[in-house]
């Protein structure tokens, strides 16, 4: 590949393709290198996207045929013990009308392929089935392109954008980002279960085209720091559950065991009853937060999306941070071409843009949250048990006075923990998100 490009992008996910759309539209010569057979081939299951960030890239994304599964009108949070749990939800008509497509589910295989096609229409060259194995550098160690596994596969470029995901061997091997520590990543498994559209709408109480997301913590992760989610698609449900990799190592629990137990939970089983499993995959999540973010730019290169560890674990936001960082990287590169300066001093604008945006502000705000969860395993064991015990006893009508039941609940609480410990936990939890 002897041709020289203005920008080489590694990875055709949301970050890389967002940048490609903006750069190509600005008239720059862009190549996107994707290791999969096609964009999205390694992202089979569904996920949630946010219309605001996609509209910053493609204002007319719906007119362009964005493959939306369901528009999210309700978000639920579950706190589960082994046999029961609490449910808190919020639904608002505004998400069906004025703020429609604030959030929506997509099948990543379909969406990523569609998104890459939009970049192609703007002039970007998408090259799949290509693994980037290294970086080209000049005598001053500035990045001048990439090395691929293709014959004569060196690709020269004025700027290189690394956007190939959290498990980017390239970012680690080049020294731009160390290999994430086990406590900085989560291993999650996803299963897509086919269910007729009318059954989904009945079970989740939604109309055609609308959907619900459910985020779940508690004993479903077997005492490990983790989370589960359920997303509604047109004719399927996406179930995902995962935990901190360090916890998996210590517990020796198998991920497939975790999701099988999750599917049997009494609050989950009715939702998937009669369904047929379509897909099963595993994937990594960047759980390191603000303190795990690497150096994001240097002479001739920038890093965006999951490669940059940009993931808001509290709000489960990753795709929107990827699109936002890809957009800001592209804006920085366009300015660098205007100045004809591709040094780290010029590309430092990328860091400034991120720091002044919601991306870095949110990650900085929640910088203590991941550590709070990791060091308070009672959130995934003792507390959901106690919460369920309290609810079960107060809701059971058996002739015993409520005052007696309250005393029984307090006795069990003191046996398993203490009011002081609960107060301390609430205080530390508040500090982790304030």
The domain ranges of the chain are 4-62+102-180+289-356, 183-286, 370-433
Q: Share the mean pLDDT of the chain.
A: 92
The predicted pLDDT at position 45 comes to 61
Task: Find the range with the poorest average confidence among 78-82, 315-319, 372-376.
Answer: 315-319
Contact between 301 and 161 under an 8 Å Cβ cutoff? The reply is: yes
CATH of 183-286, one of 3.20.20.150, 3.40.50.1000, 3.30.9.90, 3.90.1150.10: 3.30.9.90
Q: 201-251, pLDDT tens digit by residue?
A: 999 999 989 999 999 999 999 999 999 999 999 999 999 999 999 999 999
Q: Tokens 């964009």 correspond to what residue?
A: 39
Q: Going by DSSP bridges, is the β-strand pair 185-194/276-286 parallel, antiparallel, or unpaired?
A: antiparallel
Say which DSSP state 124 is in.
P
Q: Tokens 């980017």 correspond to what residue?
A: 168
The predicted pLDDT at position 367 comes to 92
Q: 88-112, pLDDT tens digit by residue?
A: 999 999 999 999 999 999 998 899 9
Fold of 4-62+102-180+289-356: FAD/NAD(P)-binding domain (3.50.50)
The predicted pLDDT at position 153 comes to 82
Q: Tokens 């619900």 correspond to what residue?
A: 212
The predicted pLDDT at position 375 comes to 92
Cα torsion for 75, 212, 12, 161, to the nearest 10°? Answer: -10
Q: Provide mean pLDDT across the span 185-193.
A: 92
pLDDT band, residue 170 (cuts 50/70/90) = confident
- Name residue 145's beta-bridge partners: 136, 156
| 3-state helix, strand and coil shares in percent for the chain, rounded to the nearest 5 | 40, 25, 30
pLDDT band, residue 334 (cuts 50/70/90) = very high
pLDDT band, residue 281 (cuts 50/70/90) = confident
The predicted pLDDT at position 285 comes to 84
From the list 166, 168, 181, 172, the residue with the least C-alpha distance to 371 is: 181
The predicted pLDDT at position 2 comes to 67
The predicted pLDDT at position 137 comes to 93
Query: Is the predicted pLDDT of residue 173 greater than 90, yes or no?
Result: no
Same fold, 4-62+102-180+289-356 and 183-286: no
pLDDT band, residue 333 (cuts 50/70/90) = very high
- The percentage of the chain sitting over the pLDDT mark of 90, rounded to a whole number, equals 80
- Triad 346, 351, 353: Cα angle to 5°: 95
């Amino acid at each position: 590949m002897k041709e020289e490009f203005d920008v080489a992008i590694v990875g055709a996910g949301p970050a890389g393709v967002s940048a490609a759309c903006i750069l190509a539209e600005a008239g720059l010569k862009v190549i996107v290198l994707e290791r999969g057979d096609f964009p999205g081939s390694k992202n089979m299951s569904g996920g949630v996207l946010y219309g605001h960030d996609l509209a910053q890239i493609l204002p007319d994304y719906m007119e362009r045929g964005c493959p939306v599964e369901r528009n999210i009108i309700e978000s639920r949070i579950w706190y589960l013990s082994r046999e029961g749990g609490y449910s808190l939800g919020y639904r608002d008509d505004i998400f069906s009308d004025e703020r429609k497509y604030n959030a929506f589910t997509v099948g990543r295989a379909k969406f990523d392929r569609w998104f890459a096609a939009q970049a192609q229409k703007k002039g970007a060259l998408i090259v799949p089935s290509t693994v980037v194995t290294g970086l080209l550098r000049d005598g001053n160690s500035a990045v001048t392109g990439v090395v691929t596994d293709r014959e004569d596969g060196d690709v020269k470029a004025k700027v290189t954008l690394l956007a190939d995901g959290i498990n980017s061997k390239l970012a680690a091997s080049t020294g731009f980002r160390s290999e994430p520590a086990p406590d900085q990543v989560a291993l999650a498994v996803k299963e897509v279960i086919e269910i007729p559209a009318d059954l989904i709408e009945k079970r989740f109480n939604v109309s055609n085209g609308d959907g619900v997301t459910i985020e779940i913590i508690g004993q479903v992760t077997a005492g490990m720091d983790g989370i589960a989610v359920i997303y509604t698609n047109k004719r399927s449900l996406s179930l995902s559950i995962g935990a901190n990799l360090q916890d998996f190592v210590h517990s020796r629990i198998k991920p497939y065991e975790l999701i099988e137990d999750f599917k049997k939970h009494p609050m989950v089983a009715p939702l998937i009853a009669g369904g047929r499993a379509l897909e099963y995959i595993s994937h990594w999540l960047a759980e390191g937060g603000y303190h795990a973010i690497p150096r994001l730019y240097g002479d001739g290169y920038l890093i965006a999306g999951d490669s940059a560890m940009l993931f808001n674990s509290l709000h489960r936001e990753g795709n929107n941070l990827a699109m936002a960082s890809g957009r800001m990287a592209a804006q920085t590169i366009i300015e660098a071409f205007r100045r004809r300066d591709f040094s780290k001093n010029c590309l430092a604008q990328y860091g400034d843009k991120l720091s002044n945006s919601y991306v870095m502000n949110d990650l900085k705000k929640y910088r203590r949250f991941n550590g709070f969860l990791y060091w308070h395993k009672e959130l995934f064991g003792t507390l959901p048990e106690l919460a369920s015990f309290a609810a079960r006893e107060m809701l059971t009508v058996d002739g015993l006075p409520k005052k007696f039941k309250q005393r029984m609940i307090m006795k069990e609480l003191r046996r398993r923990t203490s009011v002081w410990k609960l107060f301390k936990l609430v205080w530390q939890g508040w500090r982790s998100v304030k």
